[in-house]
Structures are given as structure tokens and as C-alpha cells.
């Protein structure tokens, strides 16, 4: 039986960073992944340029049953620390919008940096490796990896959640947690497009391909970013963001004129362009096809002939267009998984299971889910770093 100090399951962002930190401390580290290449999600992220962190990352940008859990890891290794690291390795970057940072070149640069950090520190990477029969015997974690018996003092589970199963995502991390008595918070797709019932799609499908700036809200949460109409419903950054907060049966509210007072806009248009009808008036500020849909129940007469009540009704459609999704595109296209290993079961400083010394959970497998825009990668770096200091 081969022995290591640390075995890490999952060669993604969190796993590789944890491996490099632990190996740098002189620990004998084996990191394994069932995929043929490391960092597959890193490679496809950000359109191939990897949205590796966010300038404004803070605990409030994360969802969890315990919103305070992420504070420790995020504060001890933050976005500035990771920016400094990639700059040391000559990786150029730029801010796209809203603090989102991307590589100037390929996302492969991040993967190459992580692999380089691991190998330079002495960590061993095994790919296309299947892990099973994980047991805890005499204070050691014993497992079979491709038929070979391995044991380690510490086991780090960094194999992510259920999102994008075509890349090998599964519930394996949750099964390990359950095996050792850890609670799992309900999981669901997050940062995912929303879908609509057939009767609503009849109208929405005519808008497929249209995009615009919009503020999308659900309850008390709202995000202003791009919104895209699809053949199945709605997508785009604002929709992906709100999908983490939306639940079945709820409506979402769309402000088609974010940052503008719809009533003031229409009253100004009535006074100065009163000969235009409502669709032609709105087509000046939103796509024409969308303007026609918004106005389908509005009078087609000249805007100058609108009563104040009719004007207010149209303004309400612009600033608070209510839609009721029936579901989402699911894990197939979800960027992350909401929920996961309960933070009640983990030490926020070390990511170690409270009732199972030597067992750690990091990254997406944990019930900490960030907003769109680099936040989930920062959680991977921070949680991986935290565990890497102690495993």
C-alpha cells in the first residue's frame, strides 16, 4: 500500500491550488482526477480567458446557509493575493466590467501556472484515475485508485458539484460527505438560464437572439446586466445572477429601462413626440420587436392621446415586466451548483470536517456559491489556500 500525507480528489481550481500550497509546506501530496486533463472548467471559463477573480469580491457576494462562513478564507487569501500570484508568473490581465478580471491570453495560462506550482513543490498528479472504496482505518484514509491501494493522513475533497455533467461532474463529493456523516444542503443548478411554459414561449420565441441591458429582480435581490432572449426562455448575466435566488413558483421582475424613470420618459415623449404611437416611441430605447410585445395590449393611437392612466400602465410594463419561469436549463448548462456540504459540518478556518479529523472539503462541493463574475473562482483559491496551510 502506497502512503501519502495528503490525497486530493479533484484537479480543478481549488484542488490544484490546495495541492501546491500543501506540497510547498513539504507534505507528500497526491492529487487525482478522473478527467484526462486538469482544470477543465478553468479552460472553458470566461469564453476561454478565465474570469479568475473579481476586484470587488466580498462575503456578501456569496450564498450559503451560513453567510458568514466564507469570511475567514476570503479575508486570509483574497483577490489581491491571487492577482499578485498571476503577475509573478507573467500572466497579463484586464478588467472587463463590474470588477470582473480576465486573462489577456488563454485560460490555459492559469492551468499551466497551477500545474507548475504543484510539480515544482513536488505534488504528484494522476489523471484518468478512478477513486473508490474510501475508508477511514486506524486514523488513515484508505482508498482504491485504479485498483491500487492508497492511504493518507488527510483527504481533501475538491471534486466540485453537479454542474456541466458532460465534463464529468457528479455527486461523488456529496457521497463521500454523506458516508462520513456530514449533512448536505439541498443542491440545485445555479447561474443558469431560465425556461418558460409553452404558452409564454409563443410570444417570447419571436424575440430569440435579442439582448439588452436590464435589471432583473426576484424578491429583494436584483442585478443590472445584459439579458438575452432564447428559444427556451431567458439567459444573459442578469438572468444567470437572479437564477441563484429564484425558486419554482416565483415571478421575476424585469426593468427594461434601468436607471431611467419610465413615467418621465413617456411624459416627455408624449409632450415632444406625441404623434408617435407607443411601439414606435419605445423602439427608440429598446429593440423594436420587444417594444411591439410590451405594447401588444396598449392602445395603438398616438401617444398624445394617451390618458394619464394609460401612460402609467405602459410605464409599469417597462419598469416592472413580470414573468414567471417554470424552471431552468438544469445542470447541463449551470455554471455552478447551489448548496452542498453543510458549512455547519466544517471549520471555517481550515475547511476540515468538525467530526472527522483529516477530512477536508473545498471549492464548489461546499455550500458556498458566488455570484457570476469571478467570485466562484476566488472561493476556490481562498478555500484551497486555507486547507493547504493545514493538511
Measured CA to CA, the distance from residue 156 to residue 147 in angstroms comes to 20
Quick one: pLDDT at residue 341? 98
Q: 265: which 3 cell numbers? A: 420618459
Q: What angle do CA 40, 42, 46 make, to 5 degrees?
A: 125
DSSP, collapsed to helix, strand or coil, labels residue 98 as coil
* pLDDT digits 0-9 by tens, 204-237: 888 999 999 999 999 999 999 999 999 999 999 9
DSSP label at residue 287: -
Q: Using 50, 70 and 90 to split pLDDT, how confident is the model at 301?
A: confident
Measured CA to CA, the distance from residue 391 to residue 380 in angstroms comes to 16
Task: Give backbone dihedrals phi and psi of 370, rounded to 5 degrees, phi first.
Answer: -90, 170
Q: What integer best gives the mean pLDDT of the chain?
A: 96
Quick one: pLDDT at residue 254? 98
* Residue 271 confidence (pLDDT) above 80: yes
DSSP label at residue 139: T
Quick one: pLDDT at residue 297? 80
Q: How far is CA 20 from CA 25, 31, 148, 171, 326, in A?
A: 9, 10, 24, 25, 43
Classify burial at 220, counting beta carbons within 10 Å of its beta carbon; exposed 0-12, middle 13-18, buried 19 or more. exposed
Q: 315: which 3 cell numbers? A: 410605464
Tell me the average pLDDT across 104-128.
Answer: 98
DSSP, collapsed to helix, strand or coil, labels residue 244 as coil
Q: Which CATH number fits domain 2-187+337-388: 3.50.50.60, 1.10.287.130, 3.30.70.330, 3.40.50.1980?
A: 3.50.50.60
Residues carrying CATH 3.50.50.60, the chain: 2-187+337-388
Measured CA to CA, the distance from residue 238 to residue 256 in angstroms comes to 12
Measured CA to CA, the distance from residue 291 to residue 281 in angstroms comes to 8
| Lookup result for grid cell 395590449 | 297
CATH 3.90.1570.30 fits 194-328, yes or no: no
| Lookup result for grid cell 477543465 | 40
Q: Taking a C-beta distance cutoff of 8 angstroms, is the pair 323, 238 a contact?
A: no
Share of the chain above pLDDT 70, in %: 100
* Residue 136 confidence (pLDDT) above 90: yes
Quick one: pLDDT at residue 298? 80
Q: 361: which 3 cell numbers? A: 472539503
DSSP label at residue 249: T
* pLDDT digits 0-9 by tens, 303-346: 999 999 999 999 999 999 999 999 999 999 999 999 999 999 99
* pLDDT digits 0-9 by tens, 351-390: 999 999 999 999 999 999 999 999 999 999 999 999 999 9
Q: What is the pTM of this model?
A: 0.96
* Residue 299 confidence (pLDDT) above 80: no
Residues carrying CATH 2.40.30.10, the chain: 194-328
* Residue 73 confidence (pLDDT) above 80: yes
Measured CA to CA, the distance from residue 29 to residue 153 in angstroms comes to 10
Quick one: pLDDT at residue 191? 98
Q: Taking a C-beta distance cutoff of 8 angstroms, is the pair 127, 30 a contact?
A: no
Measured CA to CA, the distance from residue 78 to residue 47 in angstroms comes to 23
Quick one: pLDDT at residue 294? 92
Which residues contact residue 63 at a Cβ distance below 8 angstroms, ignoring those fewer than 6 apart?
A: 190, 244, 245, 338, 368, 369, 370
* Closest listed residue to residue 169, CA positions, set 366, 384, 331: 331
Amino acid at each position: 500500500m502506497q502512503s501519502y500525507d495528503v490525497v486530493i480528489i479533484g484537479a480543478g481550481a481549488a484542488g490544484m491550488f490546495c495541492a501546491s500550497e500543501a506540497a510547498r509546506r513539504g507534505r507528500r501530496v497526491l492529487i487525482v482526477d478522473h478527467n484526462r486533463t486538469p482544470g477543465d472548467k478553468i479552460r472553458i471559463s470566461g469564453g476561454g480567458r478565465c474570469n479568475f477573480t473579481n476586484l470587488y469580491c466580498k462575503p456578501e457576494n456569496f450564498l450559503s446557509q451560513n453567510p458568514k462562513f466564507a469570511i475567514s478564507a476570503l479575508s486570509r487569501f483574497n483577490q489581491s493575493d491571487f492577482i499578485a500570484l498571476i503577475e509573478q508568473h507573467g500572466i497579463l490581465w484586464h478588467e472587463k466590467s463590474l470588477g470582473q478580471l480576465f486573462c489577456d491570453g488563454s485560460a490555459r495560462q492559469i492551468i499551466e501556472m497551477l500545474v507548475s506550482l504543484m510539480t515544482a513543490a513536488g505534488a504528484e498528479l494522476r489523471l484518468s484515475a478512478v477513486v473508490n472504496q474510501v475508508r477511514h482505518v486506524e486514523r488513515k484514509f484508505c482508498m482504491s485508485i485504479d485498483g491500487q491501494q492508497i492511504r493518507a493522513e488527510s483527504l481533501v475533497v475538491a471534486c466540485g458539484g453537479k454542474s456541466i455533467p458532460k465534463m464529468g461532474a457528479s455527486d461523488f463529493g456529496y457521497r463521500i460527505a454523506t458516508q462520513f456523516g456530514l449533512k448536505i444542503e439541498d443542491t440545485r443548478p445555479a447561474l443558469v438560464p431560465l425556461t418558460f411554459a409553452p404558452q409564454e414561449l409563443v410570444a417570447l420565441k419571436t424575440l430569440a437572439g435579442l439582448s439588452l441591458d436590464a435589471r432583473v429582480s426576484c424578491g429583494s435581490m436584483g442585478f443590472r446586466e445584459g439579458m438575452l432572449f432564447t428559444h427556451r426562455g431567458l439567459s444573459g448575466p442578469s438572468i444567470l445572477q437572479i437564477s441563484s435566488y429564484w425558486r419554482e413558483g416565483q415571478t421575476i421582475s424585469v426593468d427594461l429601462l434601468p436607471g431611467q424613470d419610465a413615467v418621465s420618459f413617456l411624459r416627455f415623449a408624449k409632450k415632444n413626440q406625441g404623434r408617435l404611437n407607443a411601439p414606435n416611441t419605445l423602439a427608440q430605447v429598446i429593440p423594436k420587436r420587444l417594444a411591439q410585445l410590451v405594447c401588444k395590449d396598449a392602445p395603438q393611437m398616438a401617444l398624445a392621446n394617451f390618458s394619464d392612466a394609460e401612460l402609467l400602465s405602459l410605464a409599469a410594463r417597462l419598469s416592472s415586466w413580470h414573468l414567471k419561469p417554470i424552471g431552468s436549463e438544469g445542470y447541463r448548462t449551470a455554471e455552478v451548483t447551489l448548496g452542498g456540504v453543510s458549512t455547519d459540518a466544517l471549520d471555517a478556518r481550515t475547511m476540515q470536517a468538525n467530526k472527522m479529523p483529516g477530512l477536508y472539503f473545498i471549492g464548489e462541493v461546499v455550500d458556498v456559491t458566488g455570484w457570476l463574475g469571478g467570485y466562484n473562482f476566488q472561493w476556490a483559491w481562498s478555500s484551497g489556500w486555507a486547507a493547504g496551510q493545514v493538511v
